[in-house]
Structure 1
Amino acid sequence: MTQETAIFAGGCFWCTEAVFQGLAGVDKVESGYIGGHVAEPTYKQVCGGDTGHAEAIRITFDPAVLSYGDLLDVHFATHDPTTLNRQGNDIGTQYRSALFPLDAAQGEAARAGIARAQGDQSAPIVTTVEPPATWYPAEDYHQNYWDSEGQRNPYCMAVIPPKLAKLRKGFADRLRTG
């Protein structure tokens, strides 16, 4: 089985991680930080907004089951790509909507995905396509957060269920079964 990797930022990584974990063909979703200028950043540093990193997810997937383009479509349907440096009440560059293509083909697909998604938006998409950058995994307690802690966290309970509802409504044929 061939595996590929995609890196997306779309606000709080707890919220985006929960969406992609439900897709058939996704083998792993890891929360982390990318796109900044501080080596080995901590959650506290990134939340301070001074490192330049985005909270992001690194998705390992089987392209025979789910394509990079499919992942982009889910990404654009389950967060707001029209707000600059903001997702809901989360404000700052660490919550920006960004794509981090890992090769030229992903770069082309990212730009095509933005163009495809624009038709579904009432405002211009501000998602950036950013250059290669070092990936830093987030601390262990951020991994698989929705399943381990999120359902006891009022913030997550307010933000994640609507994203999961959008996922179920728009991508029912792409969900894991069993």
Structure 2
Amino acid sequence: MIYPIVAFGAPVLRKVCENINPGEIDVKKISEDMFETMYAASGVGLAGPQVGLAYRIFVVDGEIINKGAESEDEIDETLIGFKKTFINAEIIEEKGPKWAFEEGCLSIPGIRADVMRPDTLTIKYVDVDFVEHTEEYTGMAARIIQHEYDHIQGVLFTDLIAPLKKQMLKKKLGQIQKGIVDADYRMKFA
């Protein structure tokens, strides 16, 4: 099932999400639906709040970025096989130099901005079978996780950009909040 993407301005995007207890919801079905929704919207990650679920769940598929590579040199090794569902995630540590990269968000279509993030993270989470994992990620894989993790913490990438840039985007953000947006996927507005 393809969910509508919740747009900027919806209260669920600002909630610190709840952990999921085994058997509480069908995490396998929700994960499948979130991947389907993400692919339909041409995303590389999608978090529970973005589909109206205030739960600590997000999905990522970094292979999408590698599929767009024009040559072998453009393949990002950190993204090979990087397709996962993270449940009840907790970032344990972030380290390394911060680097800028232009991020966007399915809940904030048409807006992109540079965000500074640390290069490496260690994350603890459970998978769809509630098996616990603790893993380290670097580079683009770490960035994708950080972006989606922010969603389950009630943080949007626009919260992390320079104040002047954020001020310049205020009108566009207001339009998205009012439903004045050009997206090629279904959206749900507050």
TM-score scaled by structure 1? 0.29
TM-score scaled by structure 2? 0.28
* Greater fraction of residues in strand: 2
Larger RCO, structure (CA 8 Å, separation 6 or more): 1
* Greater fraction of residues in helix: 1
In terms of Rg, which structure is larger?
Answer: 2
